[in-house]
Structure 1
């Protein structure tokens, strides 16, 4: 069942050393700043929880995985400070996923746009269904995927992120995303997806937690500067969202 809360919802369940973190929002599981901040705090807490070995990140419902940033909140940004503050929300989530001592597995049951693609990219391993197409639509509304780009590029490479971001109105299907390295496995239905997610996370949770933590550090080597980089990118994006181009584009999207 999907949430009807305007600021979204976040639930965590810990069982057999697996923490399942589920986020939701009535607007295609998009992110308000409050929800971004709650997810960051939750991941930071789970990182230090000795009862947790693996984090499973998922979203509510059977439709969209994540529509990225909340359009309503983007339209309300009225000055540079507000813009930087909002996009820092995504920067903080990606950095918390990067720093998290636990392996993060993503369960992608539907389409992902913008920040949603960034979220998947920051997972250490991701499963998806055939319908989990992706799109980076930022340029079409006058901004750019600056904050999430380091995470996406780390996962799929420069050529693929160029293709994905410049074709800003085109969906890339799940098999394209798998070929580029975003998804590890793609399934033709939700049942098969969940069976494999359950099997995989239980297997991971049986491994030495210290070994997983040390290995994750290696996998995220050379990303230590992201703490500063993503914050700088948030400031640039915050200025772009104030442009007349973006205000006009967001208003047009809202009318659709």
Structure 2
């Protein structure tokens, strides 16, 4: 099944209880709000599908995994309410991923920025290529990675978060991301990556589904307050995006 619109697409395939979800957008697989909403609904639906045992989340192409939020849509924000609504899209997606009773495996084939780092962090297990550098550029455009921070900090800790977010123009290597715990493993080529994803997902699909669901709950213990926290963070970011400094920075990028 494929969902297409002018602001990107999502395709879903299910084979041997393994659901593969692929998102894409012409602007380096960035996310406008409509695509965020579609992906959130897709994750929720697959989570309740008895024919699905594990979910693979990937993006189109061989270059960028995800460029984060749509700059065009950010520039179009004119009120705090609009800003909160837009960034709540990332909040809703991360919350859907953490509450999904199925294990979500992230397949990260290339660079990822901002909200894309948050999406990777919200996966339960991430495999990537050596080209999968990461960057949190939010401070450089006058906002901050506030919505995705809980997911990123849960994976890499506050010290690594500071390394990643305070030097907002600097890419951190895939090796760095693996060392800090964002990636479980990295591979030299996309072919090797896909082979590893296949082996892992078939292994996960062979487990007792009830045991996997209970394990997922254990992995996300202590995050129950995120339903409110991430929306509060969206409001903070939605206010900051209205500043002249942010508008100017977005136009330069």
TM-score past 0.5 threshold = yes
Q: Quick one: distance in 1 between partners of 2:141 and 2:199? A: 40
Residue in 1 aligned with 2:152?
Answer: 152
CA distance in 1 between partners of 2:53 and 2:114 (Å): 29
TM-score (norm 2): 0.98
Equivalent runs, 1:60-75 vs 2, <5 Å: 60-75=60-75
CA contact (8 A) 2:4 2:10 kept: no
- Which residue in the other structure is 2:214 paired with? 214
| Whole-Å separation in 1 of the counterparts to 2:113 and 2:100 | 23
Partner of residue 24, structure 1:
24
Q: Give deviations 1:97-141, integer Å, cap 9, x for gaps.
A: 000000000000000000000000000000000000000000000
TM-score (norm 1): 0.97
SS at match of 1:81: helix
Deviation string 1:27-55 (CA, Å, 9 cap, x unpaired) is: 00000100000011011111110000100
Equivalent residue number for residue 124 of structure 1: 124
Q: Is contact 1:94–1:119 with CA below 8 Å preserved after alignment?
A: yes
The separation in 2 between residues aligned to 1:10 and 1:141, in whole angstroms, is: 28
Residue in 1 that maps onto 2:199: 199
For 1:180 and 1:15, the matched residues in 2 are separated by 32
| Structure 1 unmatched runs, 5+ | none
Aligned to 1:187: 187
Equivalent pair of 1:6/1:26 in contact (CA under 8 Å): no
Give the Å deviation of 1:4.
9.4
**1:107/1:127 contact within 8 Å kept:** yes
Structure 1 equivalent of residue 174 of structure 2: 174
Cα distance in 1 between the residues matched to 2:19 and 2:30: 21
- Tell me the matched-pair count: 251
Measured on the aligned residues, the alpha-carbon RMSD in Å equals 1.0
Q: Over residues 211-253 of structure 1, what are the superposed CA-to-partner deviations in whole Å (9 max), with x where a residue is unaligned? A: 0000000000000000000000000100000000000000111
CA deviation profile, 1:113-170 (whole Å, cap 9, x unmatched): 0000000000000000000000000000000000000000000001000110001000
CA distance in 1, matches of 2:170, 2:5: 30
- Shift in Å at residue 6 of structure 1? 3.5
